[in-house]
Amino acid sequence: MRGDEAVCLLPAGHVVGSPSTPSDRKTTGSSNPPSHIMTCALRASSASAMTSGQVCARCSQIKQRCDGGSPCARCARLGHICEPRGADTRLGASAVAYRRPRASRSRSGCLPCKNRKKKCDEARPRCSDCRRLNIPCRWPSSQSESPGETTGSTASDASPAVQLETFDEQLFEKAFDGAQDSPVTSTGDPILLPDITDEPAPLPISMPCTNTNPHLRSKEDNSLFNHYLHVVARALSRSSDQDGNPFLSTLLPIAATSDTVTSVILGLSGCHWRRVYPAIWNCALARQGRALAQVNSLLGHPDPQSTLEACVAVLLLCLTELFDGSSRVWKWHLKAAGAILQSPAMEPIASTAEWSFCSSLFHYLDAVSTISRCKPPLLHEGESRLTDLTRFGSTASKVPRADSEHAVAIYGISPTLFDLLGMVNLLAKHRSRRTDELAEIGFRAAAAHLEVQIDEWRVEHDLLLGQQAGDRATEQTTTAFEWAVRLRLHQIVDGYDPQHETVQRAVSAILDAALQVPYGSRVEGCLLFPLVIAGASSTGIEGQMMVKERLMVMENTLGFGHIQYARQLLETVWDGEQAAEPNWAYVRYTSFPGVVFI
């Protein structure tokens, strides 16, 4: 319908040109129209003349209804110039197109949004897209914002690291969007779904460039190394300090001078990336095999630098096998790393940051792996008697303090809890020796002593927390891990009955604490062991589904394969619920021997 034509509304059943009475039908063929049609035509012409000034030129040009406002609703919504329609003000198509306001563009958006070609809301220090994807938000410097200083040659000579960074962030966005499409995020419960932006974990602002490492020989190597810089290093570190990530500040200088450490880093990056990008695993596996051969040659040199490179390489190889979730080779790597750390060749560098990093990482892996080994930590192998549990205070000093820079980034929570966990698993080694009443009394006395040690640690921790404010997510994760240690101690002493009062209280405390930890938190990895032991002891479908959904989210936020195996372990335990006491440790030993809750 034309904009200058009026609409004539007739009563129901009447249509212009279609007479409704027999008399009208008879006169249809004549040249004179019916009387009521003439009346409507006159009314339409008069209405058109009356309302012609109330339709703006823009709506008339595109033949759309106009509300007659000044400006009209359409022009106000679209940002057009609203002018009254008239013979002298009617605009042509070219004039209307010329008067259309240009879309606003800003050159001050963050670099990740520019690389992904997304509109940035320029909210500093982190824009909304970077907070949503939980990726580092970096801003251009004041010099790079000037358009006059940007030349075509600079754009064409961009380094491969920038292009690889764009590729990695797009893959990371795709993987994270997959987590948002999961059944977890489809629920609208704000309690079950804490905001991932509550606790951002940005990377260091000045990221090293891949050009600084001379041991990258192919595009795949560059891509793997870049993925380690921007994704894997963040997933490994549990420190809130932007520049305190030892997986960058300590490892990258060593990798710049060592082809062995570079190869191991690429293998670790490929292990993390293989779920999203399976084709890259072959390249990572080749570099990992080369590193194994190079470690053997490094151990033949007694100098401290070669020994340090070998120790770092073996620890990262152990970490790669642990994150794989299906390998049992990590046991040999862990024993080899312990032997290297205690070798005389490491004594000259015992006070360096590199040695501190290796020592902290080994202590952490040694303590966590005791859950799967049911043996004491390797550094306490000589203290395997029950009476040694009473000397906990003398052995705790071997674990790095919580205020240590490397300990905070590696442990995430109090290292004392991991030492207590090692003592609990030392107690598990003596379960088979409860053959008489005297052995039973000694076993329960040692368990009671361990429980007292946990209670004393909690009192000291609360006093320390009262003196200095702690992070909420860290405290909730600490609470969940503490109750997981208590629950493991109860299972070793009294069995796996899920109906026991102590079990139900521990499961409730773990699940309540886990709900308070935001998704994507820097300490989220510490929840794996508490979630597994609580999920295996949960009898209700609500608790089981909550644990399963949280593990599915951690598969995307952390990205390592051992989390998927941990979830499958729980599903196996739940499928065998007909057993009176679902023994998750037996299922792990028989069906998932390579799983470690790291």
Amino acid identity of residue 516, one-letter, is Q
pLDDT at residue 534 is higher than 60: yes
110: tokens are 């963050």
Residue 106: predicted pLDDT: 66
pLDDT band at 384 (very low <50, low <70, confident <90, very high): low
530: preceding bond cis by omega (within 30 degrees): no
Residue 226: predicted pLDDT: 94
- Range of 71-80, 152-161, 247-256, 344-353 with top mean pLDDT: 247-256
Q: Are 528 and 517 in contact (CB under 8 A)?
A: no
Residue 178: predicted pLDDT: 41
- In this predicted model, what pLDDT tens digit does every residue of 98-121 receive, in sequence order? 455 555 566 788 998 888 888 888
- Arithmetic mean of pLDDT, 422-432: 87
Percentage of the chain exceeding pLDDT 90: 43
Residue 335: predicted pLDDT: 93
Per-residue DSSP letter, 593: T
Please enumerate in sequence order all residues whose Cβ is within 8 A of that of 442, keeping only pairs 6 or more positions apart, or say none.
386
Q: Which residues of 185-210 are buried (b: 16+ CB within 10 A; e: fewer)?
A: beeeeeeebbebbebbbbbbeebbeb
111: tokens are 């670099």
440 or 42: which leads in pLDDT? 440
- In this predicted model, what pLDDT tens digit does every residue of 168-197 receive, in sequence order? 444 444 443 443 343 333 333 333 333 333
- Arithmetic mean of pLDDT, 479-495: 95
Residue 434: predicted pLDDT: 83
Please tell me the total number of residues recorded for the chain in this structure. Answer: 598
528: three-class secondary structure by DSSP: helix
pLDDT at residue 22 is higher than 50: no
84: three-class secondary structure by DSSP: strand
pLDDT band at 432 (very low <50, low <70, confident <90, very high): confident
Residue 552: predicted pLDDT: 96
Residue 471: predicted pLDDT: 86
Residue 157: predicted pLDDT: 38
Neighbours of 300 (CB within 10 A): 8
- In this predicted model, what pLDDT tens digit does every residue of 242-279 receive, in sequence order? 677 999 999 999 999 999 999 999 999 999 999 888 89
- In this predicted model, what pLDDT tens digit does every residue of 215-233 receive, in sequence order? 998 999 999 999 999 999 9
- Arithmetic mean of pLDDT, 270-296: 92
Residue-averaged pLDDT of the chain: 77
Least confident range from 24-38, 211-225, 488-502: namely: 24-38
Q: Are 558 and 524 in contact (CB under 8 A)?
A: yes
- Give CA–CA dist 67/74, Å, rounded: 8
- Give CA–CA dist 203/229, Å, rounded: 9
pLDDT at residue 522 is higher than 60: yes
pLDDT at residue 29 is higher than 50: no
Residue 187: predicted pLDDT: 37
- In this predicted model, what pLDDT tens digit does every residue of 441-451 receive, in sequence order? 999 999 999 99
- In this predicted model, what pLDDT tens digit does every residue of 387-412 receive, in sequence order? 556 554 444 434 344 346 778 899 99
Residue 379: predicted pLDDT: 64
What residues form DSSP beta bridges with 56?
A: 84
Nearest CA-CA partner of 265 in 276, 254, 275, 274: 254
Phi, psi of 84 (to 5 degrees): -65, 150
DSSP 458-509: HHHHHHHHHHS---HHHHHHHHHHHHHHHHHHHHHHH---TTSHHHHHHHHH
Amino acid identity of residue 172, one-letter, is F
Least confident range from 141-150, 326-335, 393-402, 578-587: namely: 393-402
- Arithmetic mean of pLDDT, 322-346: 92
299 or 93: which leads in pLDDT? 299
Residue 381: predicted pLDDT: 55
- Arithmetic mean of pLDDT, 550-566: 95
